[in-house]
């Protein structure tokens, strides 16, 4: 399998990842966490775990996800607050509600919400 490297500012190191990764979700998809009560919109995807070792070790061992899967950056919300979440693919499900996410940063990154997903602002795409 071909591999490539990228520098992760969150991890503070170079990450070695497969050149191609199969992701279940895309930028703008609304998802829900499998175990915890929050949902969010995907705004970035890492092909493998690319956060700090400290962050990874802070996850209880019995629920710690494997590193070799896509990890998603989410503009997340629960009943009490909005925040940014970093979640493994194995812990995400498509959001059955299919409604918009009430996060204050959504309008900075996305233009419109249609058919259960957001469209990235044109000025932010390549």
Long-range contacts formed by 111-116: CB under 8 A, 24+ apart: 116/30
Q: Which fold has domain 3-124?
A: SH3 type barrels. (2.30.30)
Which residues of the chain are under the pLDDT cut of 50? none
Span 54-79, pLDDT tens digits: 999 999 999 999 999 999 999 999 99
pLDDT score at 97:
85
CA atoms within 13 A on the CB side of 21: 21
- For the chain, give every domain's residue range: 3-124
Tokens of 11: 């991890």
């Amino acid at each position: 399998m071909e591999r490539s490297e990228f520098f992760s500012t969150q991890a503070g190191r170079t990450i070695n990842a497969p050149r191609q990764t199969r992701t279940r979700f895309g930028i703008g998809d609304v998802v829900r966490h499998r175990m915890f009560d929050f949902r969010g919109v995907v705004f970035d995807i890492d092909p493998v775990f690319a956060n700090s070792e400290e962050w990874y070790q802070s996850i209880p061992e019995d629920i710690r996800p494997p590193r070799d899967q896509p990890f998603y950056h989410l503009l997340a919300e629960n009943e009490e607050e909005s925040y940014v979440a970093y979640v493994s693919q194995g812990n995400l499900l498509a959001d059955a509600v299919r409604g918009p996410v009430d996060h204050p940063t959504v309008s900075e990154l996305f233009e419109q919400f249609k058919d259960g997903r957001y469209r990235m602002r044109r000025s932010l795409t390549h």
